[in-house]
Structure 1
């Protein structure tokens, strides 16, 4: 096979030699570059992480061992010039810590352009409302620049994709049929091919979890079998969805698109997006950082020692447990004092003035505990002088100024 040389603006000519490899099957940027220049997408890895048959004499070797062998082969041929280390970012698996290798594999995709346009139109024309309104820009940004959605996942849990590959009779290229069951898929294949002796095998992939959850507003009522379904008629569409702003596109937009596409209706008419609760430093709460705040621990209080004991009750690796302990020692050196439910409620209500994020500081909640204590003590003091026969004049309710 001849090596193809192309010129492309992707390369930084001021960095190194200005000449780089292109592996369209194993790098996101290279994939796009390959599409621009019509390059072949040659996959050199097997699912095991070993080099596949495209690796020639290096086939079946572990990819890291194959690198060493390639270097040795170049030296033997007198083609080796040298090597130099460069700092770079590498993706690591959160579980195995192995280096992630981008890998081309057939997937199922959904064209979202038409549904995205209808979702944008619904907001623009006031049929759909999003509050607070500063989230409108996020909605438009995502949906006006919508891409095809990869809806298949190679996992062991989730909804199986209802696609069946025809294995008999043999086909010149893969033939797929869609069905609610293997029997339905087999019947469709028989009708399409005009033969009786047909065998089908269901795809092992599952649907993206956001695809499954996008069906939630109407699937919970038994859709598509909703004829004379009183619950469906009464509760779909609903009036309000309340959720965090971080999943506006991943979940909310998908529910809107799926509902429009499959029922012709919006799933709800108003979306209220709350702020995300973070730690006092503005960091996302994470078990590995040790900054997750359990409301019960704020209400009842907990010592630093007990906080750190709870880290061992989960499934964190030892390295992350040590990291979490350091974070807890920094943020909660004396543990979390007992604040009570009223102080926690007061604190959370006070934080609602913030926009996109709530940076929850335990010291501030402690301050509200002191404030609640003052109200309690002032009330007790006043009640001592009201007399036993004192009665409040009717129901007390908040005023507009409060």
Structure 2
């Protein structure tokens, strides 16, 4: 029997209105077909779009993979080579879906798609079981601290819907916190509609789980983090605008402005032109402070008694995204929330990091940064390294 957790029941109360999720898996595990099936069976496809896909399929039955393999190069090669974002909704929840590539050389694309996901679906071909790329994607999901993981055992129709095959794959996967669902994206079993050919499976369909899983990207108890994006001057006052990355910020609260460390009090919070007493994570607001401090874009406003200590020494686990290797001594720009500073790569474990490589580095910045450990906050614990010459993104980092 499966050692993985039982999926949430459809009656579970929703924690959020929108779920961001990513699909991943090895080549030909059926990711694009699964996404197409979700869109098709949830009636999230326009009639003319479905007709176009049916014509392109050359038959009466549409090739659902064409709904996501939108690039010409993808269609010609028969593979997914970039992250395809799709937006759809059901009566219970809205979804932002990132269909990511399966080839090992596109691991960086999987990192991009999963970096903001609340949930990741890792597909396995029931005929082949767990392969190296399956474990790599599970590891990346864990590294990025995606809150929820689903193991989708696909192509069950090609193994005669055999429960023993499913149970063996679940045991091989070996992630007890994951949720497992046996399905056939091509035939539609357990994707949106419940399968009558796997009566041994008692959990909900994949869509039912997506609709009901409780998601909170940051703990409600997390300290407030407010990166300043704009400074607005009006009527002799300064308003600091941005999106609250985590926690709750309240009028009357004593806060520190980082990296300077100066303290002051929040005197007003405005949301959509309305005065409010509190702002919560994810809300875009403007904040007014009691003192005329020197606050600019890139500064971080945080509770005075729970502010991160600014540092110029950054130790991190990173995934290198650029074709040019990252090496010790490289001069880069480091972008953290709304702040960008000059930096130098002091050390790369092993000397250099090739494209798609995951490793540990140490960076020294020209100016102090107020980072949290990535384990505490995905928003304020992450950063990017950028090429100062052409602005290309080099590396995605997770601070220790």
User: TM (normalized to structure 2)?
Assistant: 0.21
Structure with a larger share of its residues in helix: 1
Q: Which has the higher contact order (CA 8 A, sep 6+)?
A: 2
User: TM (normalized to structure 1)?
Assistant: 0.21
